[in-house]
Homo-oligomer: A and B are copies of this chain.
Amino acid sequence: MTLALDPAAQDLLFREAQTANTFTDEPVTDEQVQAVYDLVKFAPTAFNQSPLRLTLVRSTEARERLVAHAMGANGPKTLAAPLTVILSADVDFHEKLPHLFPAAPGIKDTYFAERSVREVAGIQNATLQAGYFILGIRAAGLAAGPMTGFDFDALDKEFFGDGKQKSFLVINVGKPGEGAFFPRAPRLEFQDAATTV
């Protein structure tokens, strides 16, 4: 079975790419992050709600506020990365729906009127976008180091005090450094992940 995507692209995005745990000192520019965003922004979300927000942590002060809420090895790893991005869902994404979903602008005030509905939808769709974003980092020739080991409630208080964003993932970004990769762990076979009904 041959895929339409050429083998070099398959390797770059999936087969040869791995989560990086160390990085070189080479900076990651805003232009690089924007190029990633401008590619992956086209991938789908429900009603095009596009709730993912990126917080690029660059200042020493912000980096220290971030790692204060890291678990285990994530603190030192993050301090040593050239760029760290906090991924969050905009719980008020509905305010942008008249622009983003012109086919049915009214859903802003009907289907998405309740914050509790938006929290669930926002986190789900921002997480889909996080998957696209990780692959986009690889598409830029960079390595991603996604981490869930942070106190996200504390991060929300620290960085999003107005309650309008819920963080859910932190990603270190850069060129892989020495010893960046752990050995590739096994994956589930198709037969163990898929069922036909």
Q: Are A44 and B197 neighbours in the complex by a CB distance under 8 Å?
A: no
Q: Which of A15, A30, A35, A197 has the most CB of B within 10 A?
A: A197
Q: How many residues of A contact B (CB 8 A)?
A: 81
A59 vs B197: C-alpha distance when bound (angstroms): 6
Q: Per a CB cutoff under 8 Å, which of B39, B134, B196 touches A44?
A: B134
Chain B residues with CB under 8 A of A42: 14-15, 17, 184, 187
Counting every copy of the chain, the complex holds 2
Contact A195 B55 (CB under 8 A): yes
Q: Does A100 contact B (CB under 8 A)?
A: yes
Distance in Å from the Cβ of A22 to the closest Cβ of chain B? Answer: 16
Are the C-beta atoms of A121 and B139 separated by less than 8 Å? no
Assess the A43–B134 pair: CB atoms within 8 A: yes
A interface residues, Cβ below 8 angstroms from B: 1-6, 8-10, 12-15, 17-19, 30-44, 46, 48, 50, 52-59, 62, 96, 99-103, 121, 124, 127-132, 134-135, 138-141, 144, 146, 148, 159, 168, 182, 184-188, 190, 192-197
